[in-house]
Structure 1
Amino acid sequence: MTQADVSAVETVNAEFYAAFESADLDRMGLVWADGGHAEDVVCVHPGWPLLRGRGTVLRSWALIMANTPYIQFVLTDTQVRISGDQAILTCSENIITAVEESANALTSGGSVVTTNAFIRTDEGWRMWLHHGSPVLNHEQDDEDG
């Protein structure tokens, strides 16, 4: 694992979140693996079933982007591990989003623990898997339990 590879994976990961925040589907498409890896692409959005295949995954992002007036991510606890031509980046997504009633009113969107897997391709590192799992806050735990 070289520092150059770690930096490259972190750069692609940052581009993934920048594409989502700017609702730029073309930009999002550049992040995800293509070609011979396209059918192996996997995505699990929080609360969604597993999605497989590049086309299916990108359609899901188009739907999410079309229905998200504003979103911003503050990533914490980021760690990268690389083994050969595969990399795993784990992080916590701390989400700021617009409330539905008003695009001008921002609110905390909660926290998601995320695993992003990348594969080294001829074009560089590309996302191969995104899996987000919501984290319940203590107030939710108290209400549910």
Structure 2
Amino acid sequence: MTDLEAANEEFFAAFEGADLDRMEALWADGPDVACVHPGWAMLRGREEVMRSWALIMANTPYIQFVLTDVRAEIFGDRGVVTCSEHILTAEEGSDVGFVAGGSLVTTNVFVRVGDEWRLCLHHGSPVLNQIEEE
């Protein structure tokens, strides 16, 4: 596993663990940081992006990701990771317990800061489930 792939895994581990400190340590600094959560408008700037993660983590009692089709490419001091996220989540107070969260395709763009990869763009887009015709 490359350092870039490890940084991408750290992103999902921080999200699953609702660990805002880990998430903050992973993101780059500056106004060029951007994030698109599924169904949200573009968020720009580290402060706005970190507020969004705090809000999501505070309102997500449980989330788990199964990643497939992970591809990582490095372009100098930039790294791009694309993948499919298959999400399992739980609703608080639900008798059902777990609820399938669906699937997303994700692009994470990292920048090398010293010897570490820092996230500068996260974009998650929902995949509509298609029912096969019989």
Per the shorter chain, which TM-score range? Answer: over 0.9
Q: 1:68 to 1:103 in 2, by over 3 A?
A: farther
Q: Secondary structure at the match of 2:108?
A: strand
1: distance between equivalents of 2:44 and 2:17?
24
Runs of 4+ in 1 over 6 A off after TM superposition: none
Residue 127 of structure 2 aligns with which residue? 135
2: distance between equivalents of 1:123 and 1:21?
25
The correspondence of residues 84-123 of structure 1 with structure 2, limited to 5 A, is 84-102=76-94, 105-123=97-115
Gaps of 5+ in 1: 1-5
- TM-score, L = length of structure 1: 0.86
The correspondence of residues 29-68 of structure 1 with structure 2, limited to 5 A, is 29-34=24-29, 38-68=30-60
Q: Does 2:5 correspond to 1:10?
A: yes
- The alpha-carbon deviation at position 54 of structure 1 amounts to 0.6
Residue 28 of structure 1 aligns with which residue? 23
Q: Indicate the structure with greater strand content.
A: 2
Q: 1:39 to 1:133 in 2, by over 3 A?
A: same
1: distance between equivalents of 2:5 and 2:85?
14
Give the alignment's Cα RMSD to 1 decimal.
Answer: 1.8
Q: Secondary structure at the match of 2:99?
A: strand
Gaps of 5+ in 2: none
2: distance between equivalents of 1:107 and 1:52?
31
Asked if 2 retains the 8 angstrom alpha-carbon contact of 1:70 and 1:103, the reply is no
- TM-score, L = length of structure 2: 0.93
Task: Specify the code of the residue in structure 2 equivalent to 1:33.
Answer: A
- The alpha-carbon deviation at position 102 of structure 1 amounts to 2.1
Task: Specify the code of the residue in structure 2 equivalent to 1:119.
Answer: V
Q: 1:106 to 1:63 in 2, by over 3 A?
A: same
